[in-house]
């Protein structure tokens, strides 16, 4: 169970929230755009595309469909896995959307607690709701914090989002053992002052036909800030429109092309040396790394 993924910082994706068709099958996904960073939502494009098995064809706007469903079997299966893995949960929607019942969020936290071998990576553009859900779960379960294998993250694409989300991200941190930021798609320079409480910073330029520009200097600045505050940085990709606008930014190597050979800037050998960093917020043991695989 779970899907293989090309997302470099995880091993598999799980999507327990989906539309249930009348015949009981998976009818695709839905979310509601909430932030300028959602403009080129990859999950929405998947849902519009017949190529994908679970295309719902719904735009990620308007009212939530009535047939949204939470499949407990997907999250309860984590406890039976003998192989450790990192799992990005709800990659096709926002688990902390306003329309998502609290018991679905609790079910994810409960399942994570029962599956300590699995790292459950959550990412939201609604950090206020995530913080509230985490607080309520801790209170109702008699816990001080979420399980240590829950990595609770917030998406921050530019300075406006950083300003808007910082207070709520700090509330998330109060109940989360690993609090992280996905600065992807990064589409503006961010001054990270005040974010020193986070445990991990993932950085990446936007990919796809409508990708916004990613200045390599923004990535370098984010990494330099991480180094100063001993926060592990993880450079995921340069994206489809990487640019160099700041003169003192390290120049890319000769084999670098504006779109990168992958089209998404995922080929690390084409990056400037200073951007080639992929660190995680925990030190994985040799046993863990040996047992972990890219299997779903
Ligand atoms: S919150 Fe995420 S999944 Fe939902 S519309 Fe925005 S980018 Fe897409």
Going from the Cα of 249 to the center of ligand 1, the distance in angstroms, rounded, reads 31
Residue 296's pLDDT band (cuts 50, 70, 90): very low
| The predicted structure's pLDDT at residue 245 | 63
Q: Look over the chain and give the mean of its residue pLDDT values, rounded to a whole number.
A: 90
Q: Greater confidence, 179 or 212? A: 179
pLDDT at 17 over 80: yes
CB 194 within 8 A of CB 163: no
Mean predicted confidence (pLDDT) in 42-66: 85
Strand ranges of the sheet holding 3-4, from the earlier edge strand across to the other edge = 3-4, 12-14, 85-89, 118-124, 150-155, 178-183, 200-204, 233-237
- The first and second tokens of residue 210, run together, are 């409508």
CB 91 within 8 A of CB 121: no
User: Is pTM, for the whole model, over 0.85?
Assistant: yes
Report pLDDT digits (tens) over 105-144.
Answer: 999 999 999 999 999 999 999 999 999 999 999 999 999 9
Protein residue closest via CA to atom 5 of ligand 1: 33
Tell me how far apart the alpha carbons of residues 177 and 174 are, in angstroms, rounded to a whole number.
Answer: 8
Cβ of 212 less than 6 Å from ligand 1: no
Residue with tokens 């553009």: 125
| The predicted structure's pLDDT at residue 283 | 85
Q: Greater confidence, 294 or 179? A: 179
For a mutational test of ligand 1's pocket, the pick from 94, 99, 161, 184, i.e. the residue with the most ligand atoms closer than 8 A to its C-beta, is 94
Percent residues over pLDDT 70 in the chain? 91
Cβ of 59 less than 6 Å from ligand 1: no
For a mutational test of ligand 1's pocket, the pick from 7, 39, 41, i.e. the residue with the most ligand atoms closer than 8 A to its C-beta, is 41
pLDDT at 254 over 60: no
Residues forming beta bridges with residue 151, ordered by sequence position: 121, 178
Mean predicted confidence (pLDDT) in 67-73: 97
Burial class of residue 283, CB neighbours in 10 A (0-12, 13-18, 19+): exposed
Going from the Cα of 156 to the center of ligand 1, the distance in angstroms, rounded, reads 12
Atom of ligand 1 nearest to the CA of 125: 1
Mean predicted confidence (pLDDT) in 166-188: 97
pLDDT at 295 over 50: no
Tell me how far apart the alpha carbons of residues 271 and 274 are, in angstroms, rounded to a whole number.
Answer: 8
CB 243 within 8 A of CB 279: no
Mean predicted confidence (pLDDT) in 63-70: 95
pLDDT at 154 over 60: yes
- Closest by Cα among 64, 2, 53 to 28: 53
Q: Greater confidence, 195 or 27? A: 195
Going from the Cα of 33 to the center of ligand 1, the distance in angstroms, rounded, reads 6
- Characterise 125 by phi-psi region: left (phi > 0), alpha (psi -120 to 50), beta (else): alpha
85-94, 156-165, 177-186, 266-275: which range is least confident on average?
266-275
Q: Greater confidence, 71 or 294? A: 71
Question: DSSP letters of the chain?
Answer: --EE---TT-SEEE--EEEBPTTSSB--------SGGGTT-HHHHHHT-TTSTT-----S-SSPPTTEEE-HHHHHGGGG--S-EEEEETTTS-TT-TTS-HHHHHHHHHHHHT-TTEEEEEEES-HHHHHHHHHHHHHHHT-SS--TTEEEEEE--SHHHHHHHHHHHHHHHHH-SEEEEEE-S--S----TT-TT-SEEEEE---STTPPPEEHHHHHHHHHHHHHHT--EEEEE--SSEE--STTSPPPPTT--TTTTTSSS--GGGS-GGG--B--SS---HHHHHH--S--
Select, from the ranges 3-12, 35-44, 99-108, the one with the highest average predicted confidence (pLDDT).
Answer: 99-108
Cβ of 41 less than 6 Å from ligand 1: yes
| The predicted structure's pLDDT at residue 250 | 56
Mean predicted confidence (pLDDT) in 245-271: 66
pLDDT at 2 over 80: no
Going from the Cα of 275 to the center of ligand 1, the distance in angstroms, rounded, reads 26
Protein residue closest via CA to atom 3 of ligand 1: 93
Atom of ligand 1 nearest to the CA of 60: 5
- The first and second tokens of residue 27, run together, are 């009818």
């Amino acid at each position: 169970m779970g899907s293989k993924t090309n997302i470099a910082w995880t091993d598999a994706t799980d999507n327990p929230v989906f539309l249930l068709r009348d015949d009981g099958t998976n009818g695709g996904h839905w979310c509601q755009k909430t932030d300028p960073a959602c403009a080129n939502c990859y999950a929405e494009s998947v849902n519009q595309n017949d190529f994908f098995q679970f295309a719902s064809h719904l735009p990620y706007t308007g009212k939530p469909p009535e047939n949204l469903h939470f499949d407990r079997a997907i999250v309860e299966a984590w406890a039976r896995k003998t192989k450790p893995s990192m799992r990005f949960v709800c990659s096709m929607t926002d688990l902390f959307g306003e329309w998502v019942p609290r018991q679905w969020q609790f079910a994810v936290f409960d399942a994570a607690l029962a599956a300590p071998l699995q790292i459950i990576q959550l990412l939201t553009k609604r950090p206020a709701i995530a913080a509230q859900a985490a607080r309520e779960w801790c209170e109702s379960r008699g816990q001080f914090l979420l399980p240590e294998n829950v990595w609770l993250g917030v998406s921050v694409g530019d300075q406006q989002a950083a300003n808007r989300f910082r207070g709520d991200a700090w509330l998330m941190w109060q109940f989360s053992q690993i609090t992280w930021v996905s600065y992807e798609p990064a589409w503006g320079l961010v001054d990270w002052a005040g974010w020193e409480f986070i445990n991990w910073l993932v950085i990446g330029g936007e990919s796809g036909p409508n990708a916004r520009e990613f200045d390599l200097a923004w990535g370098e600045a984010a990494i330099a800030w991480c180094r100063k505050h001993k926060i592990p940085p993880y450079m995921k990709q340069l994206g489809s429109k990487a640019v160099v606008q700041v003169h003192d930014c390290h120049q890319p190597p000769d084999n670098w092309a504006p779109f990168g050979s992958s089209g998404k800037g995922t080929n690390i050998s084409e990056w400037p040396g200073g951007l080639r960093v992929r660190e995680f917020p925990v030190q994985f043991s040799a046993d863990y790394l040996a047992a972990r695989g890219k299997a779903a």
